[in-house]
């Protein structure tokens, strides 16, 4: 398992799943989730705006989406932030699942099934679970928006 001293800022979803399996106690898993949030690339202060705020979250959450179209193939990259440590960690988990993927691929991911493998719903408050799904909805909406825009070749 990685520590904060390591320089990598992103962890794959499979790595997170494997790390979760190594941690027996949920208290340790919460600490790990918070650690993942600390590794997130900072969201520029100007992006903490109403336009980037995710609706449906009890905590304040901001997400931005960058669409890269190198060679005509779109890839979405996400940046995000929250005023709550655990939520920043949940954002990091979502980014491990979605960031760097094509919009079509994002739309095929079953968030309930995939995130269910971490058993988060069993250990998050209903408000946090709803907020997590609001973030997924926003990411999917951005992927749909990217598909609707033609790419330049």
Question: Which residues are annotated as catalytic?
Answer: 57
Pairwise CA distance, residues 142 & 144, whole Å = 5
Question: Of 29, 2, 58, nearest to 117 (Cα)?
Answer: 29
E strand or H helix at 143, and its extent? helix 126-148
Q: Are strands 61-68 and 75-82 parallel, antiparallel or unpaired?
A: antiparallel
Pairwise CA distance, residues 68 & 53, whole Å = 22
CB atoms within 10 A of CB 121: 14
3-state SS, residue 38: helix
């Amino acid at each position: 398992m990685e520590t904060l001293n390591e320089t990598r800022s992103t962890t794959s979803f499979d790595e997170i799943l494997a790390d979760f399996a190594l941690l027996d106690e949920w208290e340790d898993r919460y600490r790990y989730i918070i650690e993942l949030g600390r590794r997130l690339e900072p969201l520029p202060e100007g992006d903490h705006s109403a336009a980037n705020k995710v609706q449906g979250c009890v905590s304040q959450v901001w997400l931005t989406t960058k669409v890269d179209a190198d060679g005509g193939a779109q890839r979405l990259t996400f940046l995000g932030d929250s005023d709550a440590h655990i939520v920043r960690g949940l954002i990091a988990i979502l980014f491990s699942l979605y960031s760097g993927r094509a919009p079509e691929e994002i739309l095929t991911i079953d968030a309930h099934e995939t995130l269910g493998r971490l058993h988060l719903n069993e250990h998050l408050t209903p408000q946090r679970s709803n907020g997590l799904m609001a973030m997924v909805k926003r990411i999917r909406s951005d992927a749909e928006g990217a598909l609707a825009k033609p790419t330049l070749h």
